Amino acid sequence: MAAEKTRAIVIRTTAFGETSSVVTVYCREFGKLRALAKGAWRPKSGFDGGLDLLSTCQVLVIRKSSGGLDLLTEAALENRFRVGTSLAAVLGGLHVAELLDALTADADPQPELFEVAHATLRRFSDWSGDEAPLAALLASIQLAMLRLTGHGPVLSRCAECHGRLADSGRTAFGMLDGGTLCERCRTGRRGVVSVSTGAMAALRLLADPRVSPDDLPLPAAVGGEVRGIMTTLLSHLLGRPLRVPATLARSGRRLSRP
């Protein structure tokens, strides 16, 4: 079979033998692929550092028609993810890779999802200075990836009856229901949290692809609430806690404006 060329984001690597690697990449044209890169870590190979985690590269892949791993034959580095001065930005990049792996099926191409993830990784790469914008940026990419994979939460109406929500006060958010709930539908349901007016407004703006997260600085209290809502929502959706948000929480770094 002939090798096919595509742009790819490296989202996971595992050593295989002494010089090879099993690599998970998210490709613009082919979606998520799991492939064997033979001799990837030899001093002279066709990969030349192109398989570094979170990097974007041009790869040549021989795709298997049956089960088993695909075969990577070459990788040319386009953009390497660089560690700057912000641990939170590095963890944010790892979270993008974690979501690409968790939210997508193998060989299901979604070019817009690739572009959104690629752009976000470029933003996180080599981050230095003020970390305040990271809270909005991280929540924005989470909501964008959920929307593009068909899991975007309902935020402007009741997720159950599709009726109107109350015009004021706190809003019920059903983690098991996929979004906001009216007062009638929230009764007796499990996994419901009460969201403040500020956090609800922030979620709606961050979920709007027309709004740049750079234009939405989050106060510390709102940023913390949004982060908690998104972490819990993703955990319920995937049936397990995600690793990177837990590490972010333990790091004790504040990603919101004071």
Query: How confident is the model over 247-255, as a mean pLDDT?
Result: 55
For residues 172-195, give the mean pLDDT: 96
State the average pLDDT over residues 120-126: 97
Give the per-residue pLDDT at 149. Answer: 97
pLDDT at residue number 257: 41
Does residue 253 carry a pLDDT above 50?
no
| Residue 211 Cα to chain centre, angstroms | 18
Q: What pLDDT shows up at residue 119?
A: 97
pLDDT at 255 over 50: no
pLDDT at residue 46 is higher than 90 = no
Which pLDDT score is estimated for 49?
77
User: Span 216-230, mean pLDDT?
Assistant: 93
- Average pLDDT across the chain, whole number: 92
Supply the pLDDT for residue 62.
95
Which pLDDT score is estimated for 249? 62
Residues above pLDDT 70, as percent of the chain = 95
Does residue 258 register a pLDDT over 50? Answer: no
State the pLDDT confidence band at 118, using cuts at 50, 70 and 90. Answer: very high
Q: Please, which pLDDT band fits residue 240 given cuts at 50, 70 and 90? A: very high
Model confidence at 228: pLDDT above 60: yes
3-state SS of the chain is CCCEEEEEEEEEEEEECCCEEEEEEEECCCEEEEEEECCCCCCCCCCCCCCCCCCEEEEEEECCCCCCCEEEEEEEEEECCCCCCCHHHHHHHHHHHHHHHHHCCECCCCHHHHHHHHHHHHHHCCCCCCCCCHHHHHHHHHHHHHHHCCCCCECCCCCCCCCCCCCCCCEEEECCCCEEECHHHHCCCCCEEEECHHHHHHHHHHCCCCCCHHHCCCEHHHHHHHHHHHHHHHHHHHCCCCHHHHHHHHHCCCCCEC
pLDDT of residue 254: 44
Query: Per-residue pLDDT tens for 127-150?
Result: 998 998 999 999 999 999 999 999
Asked which of 5-14, 39-48, 174-183 is least confident by mean pLDDT, the reply is 39-48
pLDDT > 90 in the chain, percent: 82
Domains identified in the chain and CATH numbers: 4-79 (2.40.50.140), 87-251 (1.20.1440.120)
Q: pLDDT tier at 208 (50, 70, 90 boundaries)?
A: very high
User: Which pLDDT score, from 0 to 100, does residue 256 have?
Assistant: 43
Average pLDDT, integer, range 177-195: 96
Q: What is the arithmetic mean of pLDDT over 68-75?
A: 93
